[in-house]
Amino acid sequence: MFKLAPSILAADFSKLGEEVSGIEKAGAHLIHIDVMDGHFVPNISFGASVMKSLCGKSTLPFDVHLMIENPDKYIEDFITDATEYITVHQEACPNIHRTIRYIKSFGVKAGVSVNPGTSLSVLDSILNEVDLVLIMSVNPGFGGQSFIEFSLDKIRHLAEIRNSRGLNFEIEVDGGVTIHNVDSLVDAGAEIIVAGNSVFAGGNINENVRQLLNRGR
Ligand code: DX5
Ligand code: ZN
């Protein structure tokens, strides 16, 4: 069993309310909120006010992915009754331990993400503090990119580390997920699957969600 977190980055922004109620009806579990600042990543998406406009449009919790520099400055803006996870990038946080504690101080789950080129070893000392580790399987900044294959090994390796250390953070994967690789990602140990284009771009949202939840079958 895994949770599906459609990324609204790939949704139709002119009808976001309908899009999120659509993914809820289709059986998705979370709404993945991709926040980009044009500095940490080469693209600007949207901020907290857009996310807050979705409060009450569905009962799905928010899974906030901050691809921004200096996230500490903005974390509080993303706290709502619907916020379940706030994830920051290891690469953007010189004091990641403090940032994780700060996120948790609001009573939400704290996640840390690593880019494809970042080794898992940099997370060693905070793995016992985090609720979630988000493995980026594309270089962040844009939806619709191709899955980077070595991310599968990274997920497997992280699951092994978790087992050997008796920890219980969740493992999430983000970028290039399709009906063709979702099965192997879940097998490798991913428990939260982010999907943007494979949910919203093309076809029917209901059918896309159903197929992803069914591991591509
Ligand atoms: C990438 C974002 C992803 C992305 C996923 O920078 O963090 O969440 O939107 O989109 P797809 O599934 O289209 O790769
Ligand atoms: Zn994301």
Q: Give the model confidence (pLDDT) of 57-66 as tens digits.
A: 999 999 999 9
Is the pTM above the cut of 0.95?
yes
Mean of the pLDDT values across residues 84-109? 98
Q: Does the Cβ of 114 fall within 6 Å of ligand 1?
A: no
pLDDT confidence band for 217 (50 / 70 / 90): confident
Q: Which of 37, 63, 131, 174 is catalytic?
A: 174
174 a catalytic residue = yes
HSE of 65, CA atoms in CB hemisphere, 13 A: 31
Cβ pair 146, 176 in contact under 8 A = yes
Selection from 168, 167, 173 nearest residue 155 by Cα: 173
Check residue 97 and give its pLDDT.
Answer: 98
pLDDT confidence band for 139 (50 / 70 / 90): very high
Q: What distance in angstroms lies between residue 164's CA and the mean position of ligand 1's atoms?
A: 30
Q: What distance in angstroms lies between residue 152's CA and the mean position of ligand 1's atoms?
A: 16
Instruction: Return the number of other C-beta atoms located less than 10 Å from residue 180's C-beta.
Output: 10
Q: Does the Cβ of 176 fall within 6 Å of ligand 1?
A: yes
Angle 16-26/205-213 helices, nearest 10 degrees?
40
Check residue 6 and give its pLDDT.
Answer: 98
DSSP strand pairing (3-6 vs 62-67): unpaired
Farthest CA pair distance, the chain: 46
End-to-end CA distance of the chain: 15
Task: List, for residues 17-34, the tens digit of each pLDDT value.
Answer: 999 999 999 999 999 999
Q: In sequence order, what DSSP letters do the residues of the chain get, joined into one string?
A: --EEEEBGGGS-GGGHHHHHHHHHHHT---EEEEEEBSSSSS-B---HHHHHTTBTTBSPPEEEEEE-SSGGGTGGGG--TTEEEEEEEGGG-TTHHHHHHHHHTTTSEEEEEE-TTS-GGGGGGGTTT-SEEEEESS-TT-SSPPPPTTHHHHHHHHHHHHHHHT---EEEEESS--TTTHHHHHHHT-SEEEESHHHHSSS-HHHHHHHHHTTT-
